[in-house]
Structure 1
């Protein structure tokens, strides 16, 4: 490896390195710090790599040790739909996109990190920015409301139970579909903020609690998240998942969700080694890119002889909460840190600094044109008694269909041993199309399904959703407007 450029400014040293053709740069951070003579504090050395090139920056002290709170201007979207969430090690602003005005697309986003990495504060800041930018925020806190208690009254809808989150996701998909129909009538194929509708964001915090194996409504949540990812982007309804892991089994076991993850805004806080391997496997990072691990603390290791005359160990250290990589940004290997959000010390109640971050006034509300589509759950979002009744109805509905099945309708039929096994609506739809041998409309498929001796399906929308999934899976093809046929039939 040869040194390509050496630049020095005051006490900051920057080395630009390039490997010979045909080689890529790989390194050992500890060995590098030793060679540079800065083993006393590895946080002073920051490395960015891309293939056969690298930039090594040596600071006189840790550049990310102290972060200020955000300013009001940081929280407002620029003309590219971005807010400033913190700064990189080199002092440049770290920006994250809330909307893409070039394509008129809402954003899919993922915030990933282990426990204590700073997800909750990151979520609080994003919610506060959405309020200040008049974005309609629907927030599902799957930690029972503990993740961001200050968001109460600061968002349009705050859900704190598994059942309410399912109802929220269903309503969000219905809103996206209603907007889709209205925009189609106007001849529009993209979204313009406020013309006539506000930008909308649906966020699931601690999403792994709802999507991991064994979660009570895993299939249901996975289905509606996928639907929202498909329909919401072009009509101004975004989706964000905040989770402790990115492994497939922690995200509903869904390849579709992984595909959505690849295209979204990705914030990677402190991670585990298995998460990093998954990110590389998913193509979010190339095998030639290296991300130096984010330690739990910025605290140099000190060796002390038992004969040293020292007092008690000094427990004064700098936590790395909020330190991250913006994988979807222009410099994915450049370490950054989020602004300091809220009080440093734990408080016995709500944090006044976080409350002030949201600013005065009411949050943006869903447009009246979509209230009917959002349905009874949206109307009951601020009424605990009505919401409890709707959640009870949901539990009964899903227990009849099969635990957590994704709203497609589940029937029971005996297997060869006389036991009952679940029969999904999609299987009944396939059987109906196979029996007809010719294109069928949604209404004709519904009539055929209800004549097969299984549980009655009341809504044509259930059949329509099943057909849409089968078309996506290439099992069914569209045969003209509103007509469907088995693929290769």
Structure 2
């Protein structure tokens, strides 16, 4: 039986390999180096050459050494320079310049006329000459086809060059071709010229052996590839701990740009670091400049991106750092190349860069998966493109084109800085119910809708039905709200609208309009009576419309009209409450507050089909300032459905107002108080009409708009509607020129007289200050002394009256701050209060 023998392996080589360590391994490596033998041959060859051969060899070696040194110190595509990109990138930059020249020549050729000159026909007239290629030159898609073919040819040529460069030439990532200093090149290339020259020196045999060994060592060293020119940096090897330590050392130190700040949710991958900046002081996280982070992390400034998403508080911000961002000398005008290297949105593309009269514009294509159009912010774009100037982000204006494309306009000069003069023709209402109140940033008219028409239902005269459109606007004092309101007052008078206005500034805001409005009041009490008169007129109109006939879409006559037809027989009415939040917040316990809120909410909910619209102006950029009861909630809802104008405010978060579905898709840049040329920005605002995208616009301006409006008739209510509106409207001429205090006293006396008339159903106006729940049945005025209200009841009533912070609640209730804090927490736990950011609001009644 044959036995199987295991094959024996020769372990001699393995033992030898294992023993080659230290000096032996180095010697073995030198023996395998061709440079060792080439250097030894160069050192020993001069001893064997004749004088002529030695002279030629010396001169030749010297020339090669000089050329080698020159190539090492001069820029060019034959080597790689740290800080200037790889040779392929060097060629691409030159190729892009050549491509731009090609495009210019191609556009010039496309613009040229290629038709032949006309010839003289048999009848003596000039006749067009038709050539063989006229059909091609007149082709409607010729420019697009030429561009496509040119781009394809260029793309194929670049791909061919890229492939040849990668396959035929050495590895350009190593330090073989990095830039050397003159001293380094003299030490590297100098022996090539000096070694052959030793043949002219008379030396003993052992000296030639020394020269040969030196030459062999030099050859082996030069032949060995040096270390790569782009080794991994210290921070890449250190990982997250290195970045955290650098953050503490450079950013979060006592004298740093953001002291005591922290980095949270740090994520580090191959080429990007993402984290969340947490500011533990009063400074917002976005106040940190990208230059500070670039110094701390040793990256270019444009590789740093700091932004705050909409759902983040001001104390936090997102940080993105491109770690392997190339530091090549990019062409700043080549925005696509800059964006490709430093884009904060991976996979996005910048294209279609065009110069405009006011700057430049371009488009950004976002990837199918990843960041959406609502996440793009001007600050991120300005940081990625390293735009100069402190207000670089404010110069960028974003406009959505579709679900993935955004148009960005970089306007160094704001086209609205020169102002917009008043144009009466633009204030004429069109068939869609719009008037033009100014011009937007892109040169388009800024539209404001007064009526919304529906041609499917018509009056007996053929006029289309319409519903009134409510409006809302906010802005600080001096922002230009009055300019837009005066434009609208002219438009309303021109188009036959009845205008009522309640001035929260006591008449100072619209003093020139005292005789040019149908009804103007200056007191808060008058604003309440104006809202109640509007309710009464709308109810009267509904009652009369129920007895009217109308025409449907097919021409049939129907009875009982439930919609409004302008001037059949009623004129549209617009009621404006200016400084509405002042009417509510100045004294939340005043007798006019609750009735005013109820009347305005009733106008908003019930009067659109009666042709009556509400327009509310506030200063605080938050609709929560008008209260938190049911009436205030209804006002907020109805103001979100119409025209919205956001003027300059004292706060930067103009876009995070309580606008519900009308919240802007993009974070709006705060409007400046002055333009870069020093001119005022009065009348500059963001406008939205049926859209979630807000556009910067400017209202038309005239030095005396009240005088302009006098050329048109002053519309007013019919006698029957005036009776319904009440005594405050009928006797408006008696107090038109009184100040706010005298007007309020006059109206209170008129109200008492109306209540005292016999055979008249009294109108109940709740003027009693609310101390407890509105539906509490309390008749004894001394009951509070016998059974004082609880601490929770006091706190809840204070919040319901408009107090928002614990300090304000303590001042109103005269409770200690610690007791107020405990009561608010207890009420929040039971669902009676809820907190929006740092403000308290009532959720439901305390006894519910």
TM over 0.5: yes
Is residue 2:645 matched to residue 1:267?
yes
Unaligned runs of 5+ in 1: 300-315, 343-352, 422-489
Aligned counterparts of 1:91 and 1:329: Cα–Cα separation in 2: 20
Which residue number corresponds to residue 748 of structure 2?
A: 391
Query: Which structure dedicates a bigger proportion of its chain to helix?
Result: 2
Q: After superposition, what is the alpha-carbon deviation per residue over 1:122-159, rounded to whole angstroms, capped at 9, x for unaligned?
A: 21111121111110001110110011112111111010
The 5 Å alignment of 1:96-115 reads 96-102=448-454, 104-115=466-477
Question: Does the C-alpha gap of structure 1 residues 225 and 197 become closer, same or farther in structure 2, counting only changes over 3 Å?
Answer: same
Is residue 2:599 matched to residue 1:224?
yes
Query: Which structure dedicates a bigger proportion of its chain to strand?
Result: 1
Contact 1:245–1:275 (CA under 8 A) maintained in structure 2: no
Is residue 2:385 matched to residue 1:35?
yes
Equivalent of residue 581 in structure 2, options 183, 208, 220: 208
Question: Match of 2:733, SS?
Answer: coil
Question: Match of 2:707, SS?
Answer: helix
Which residue number corresponds to residue 465 of structure 1?
A: none
Is residue 2:544 matched to residue 1:182?
yes
CA-CA distance at 1:419 after TM superposition: 5.5
Question: Does the C-alpha gap of structure 1 residues 240 and 404 become closer, same or farther in structure 2, counting only changes over 3 Å?
Answer: farther
Aligned counterparts of 2:616 and 2:569: Cα–Cα separation in 1: 27
Which residue number corresponds to residue 196 of structure 1?
A: 569
Contact 2:349–2:365 (CA under 8 A) maintained in structure 1: yes
Which residue number corresponds to residue 432 of structure 1?
A: none
Equivalent of residue 336 in structure 1, options 697, 701, 707: 697
Q: After superposition, what is the alpha-carbon deviation per residue over 1:431-467, rounded to whole angstroms, capped at 9, x for unaligned?
A: xxxxxxxxxxxxxxxxxxxxxxxxxxxxxxxxxxxxx
Question: Does the C-alpha gap of structure 1 residues 376 and 113 become closer, same or farther in structure 2, counting only changes over 3 Å?
Answer: same
Larger-gyration structure (1/2): 2
Is residue 2:399 matched to residue 1:48?
yes
Question: Match of 2:574, SS?
Answer: strand
Aligned counterparts of 2:412 and 2:766: Cα–Cα separation in 1: 64
Q: After superposition, what is the alpha-carbon deviation per residue over 1:365-424, rounded to whole angstroms, capped at 9, x for unaligned?
A: 11223122111111111112996433246599999851289xx99963356974599xxx
Question: Does the C-alpha gap of structure 1 residues 411 and 161 become closer, same or farther in structure 2, counting only changes over 3 Å?
Answer: farther
Question: Does the C-alpha gap of structure 1 residues 129 and 218 become closer, same or farther in structure 2, counting only changes over 3 Å?
Answer: same
Question: Does the C-alpha gap of structure 1 residues 74 and 28 become closer, same or farther in structure 2, counting only changes over 3 Å?
Answer: closer
Contact 2:361–2:410 (CA under 8 A) maintained in structure 1: yes
Contact 1:49–1:333 (CA under 8 A) maintained in structure 2: no
Question: Does the C-alpha gap of structure 1 residues 40 and 210 become closer, same or farther in structure 2, counting only changes over 3 Å?
Answer: closer
Aligned counterparts of 1:329 and 1:243: Cα–Cα separation in 2: 20
Question: Does the C-alpha gap of structure 1 residues 11 and 341 become closer, same or farther in structure 2, counting only changes over 3 Å?
Answer: closer
Question: Match of 1:327, SS?
Answer: strand
Unaligned runs of 5+ in 2: 1-347, 455-464, 549-559, 756-763, 790-848
Contact 1:23–1:52 (CA under 8 A) maintained in structure 2: no
Aligned counterparts of 2:784 and 2:492: Cα–Cα separation in 1: 55
Aligned counterparts of 2:788 and 2:622: Cα–Cα separation in 1: 32
Aligned counterparts of 1:403 and 1:228: Cα–Cα separation in 2: 23
Is residue 2:657 matched to residue 1:278?
yes
Question: Does the C-alpha gap of structure 1 residues 411 and 139 become closer, same or farther in structure 2, counting only changes over 3 Å?
Answer: farther
CA-CA distance at 1:283 after TM superposition: 3.0
CA-CA distance at 1:115 after TM superposition: 2.0
Question: Does the C-alpha gap of structure 1 residues 210 and 409 become closer, same or farther in structure 2, counting only changes over 3 Å?
Answer: farther
Task: Give TM-score scaled by structure 2 length.
Answer: 0.43
Q: After superposition, what is the alpha-carbon deviation per residue over 1:95-137, rounded to whole angstroms, capped at 9, x for unaligned?
A: 1001112361111111111222111222111112111111000
Question: Match of 1:129, SS?
Answer: helix
Q: After superposition, what is the alpha-carbon deviation per residue over 1:205-228, rounded to whole angstroms, capped at 9, x for unaligned?
A: 111111226342221110100111
Which residue number corresponds to residue 240 of structure 1?
A: 615
Question: Relative CO higher for 1 or 2, CA cutoff 8 Å, sep ≥ 6?
Answer: 1
Task: Give TM-score scaled by structure 1 length.
Answer: 0.72
Equivalent of residue 728 in structure 2, options 339, 357, 377: 377
Aligned counterparts of 1:113 and 1:142: Cα–Cα separation in 2: 14
Is residue 2:353 matched to residue 1:6?
yes
Which residue number corresponds to residue 447 of structure 2?
A: 95
Contact 2:396–2:408 (CA under 8 A) maintained in structure 1: yes
Question: Does the C-alpha gap of structure 1 residues 202 and 372 become closer, same or farther in structure 2, counting only changes over 3 Å?
Answer: same
Question: Does the C-alpha gap of structure 1 residues 234 and 6 become closer, same or farther in structure 2, counting only changes over 3 Å?
Answer: same
CA-CA distance at 1:28 after TM superposition: 4.3
CA-CA distance at 1:47 after TM superposition: 2.5
Is residue 2:387 matched to residue 1:26?
no
Question: Does the C-alpha gap of structure 1 residues 341 and 38 become closer, same or farther in structure 2, counting only changes over 3 Å?
Answer: farther
Aligned counterparts of 1:150 and 1:90: Cα–Cα separation in 2: 33
Is residue 2:778 matched to residue 1:412?
yes
Which residue number corresponds to residue 469 of structure 1?
A: none
CA-CA distance at 1:234 after TM superposition: 0.2
Aligned pairs, how many?
A: 392
Aligned counterparts of 2:657 and 2:716: Cα–Cα separation in 1: 37
Aligned counterparts of 1:72 and 1:359: Cα–Cα separation in 2: 13
The 5 Å alignment of 1:138-177 reads 138-177=500-539
Question: Match of 1:122, SS?
Answer: helix
202-211 vs 360-369, which deviates more? 360-369
Question: Match of 2:420, SS?
Answer: coil
